[in-house]
Amino acid sequence: MVLRAPTGPHPVGEPLPIEVELRNISDAAVWVVGVLDGSEAGMRFPHFRTAVLHGGRTVYRPLVEDPLVGPLLRSHFRRLRPGESFDPSAGRDDGYFPLSVFTQFRPVERGPYQYRLTFSSESARPEQWFGRFGQRADEQDLLIDLISRVPRGVLTAMVDVTVS
């Protein structure tokens, strides 16, 4: 997983266009899921936890989201061939969400900032991926099978930027 920001200094008070790339570096196809409602706040898996740091301290985290996150759907799963990548926060047709911290934060002070993203697929139970309403019981076995195909792990990516 890689985070990218445009090079050069960035103006105070403007959001920075941070790009996310999740790439399959294995020699086999893998299944992944992008950012779903509740993922950024850690309310469901996969987790996409964001933070912005300035002067070594966290200055912005996601706001608490509505705990009634929607159902996990078959269409949320994406198969990545070896070497293939995608932005897990850029989809609209597949139900993925932008990362609110990266789209909403506007630095108010000059200096160096660090944007951080931690992805986790390490759930204790497959049900931790499901939504809190509207989850169809007749699809749960298929979804549990797909969840089991998502590689388990935690990835962290950071990008440093200068605000002037």
pLDDT reported for residue 116: 97
For the segment 37-51, what is each residue's pLDDT rounded down to a tens digit?
999 999 999 999 999
3-state helix, strand, coil in the chain (%, to 5): 15, 30, 55
The confidence score (pLDDT) of residue 99 equals 94
- Output the pLDDT for position 163: 95
Token pair recorded at residue 89: 């926060």
Residue 65 is predicted with a pLDDT of 63
Q: Which amino acid is at 28?
A: A
* Six-digit token string for 11: 């103006």
pLDDT, residue 102, reads: 94
Instruction: Write down the pLDDT at residue 92.
Output: 65
Measuring CA to CA, how many Å separate 72 from each of 37, 69, 138?
10, 9, 13
Provide the pLDDT for residue 9. 85
The pLDDT averaged over each successive group of 10 residues in the chain (164 residues) is 93 95 97 95 95 94 76 95 95 83 94 97 96 86 96 97 94
Burial letters 138-156, b for 16+ CB under 10 A, else e: eeeeebeebbeebeeeeee
149: Cβ contacts below 8 Å, ≥ 6 apart: 30, 31
Distances (CA, A) of 75 to 34, 43, 45, 86, 92: 11, 20, 15, 15, 12
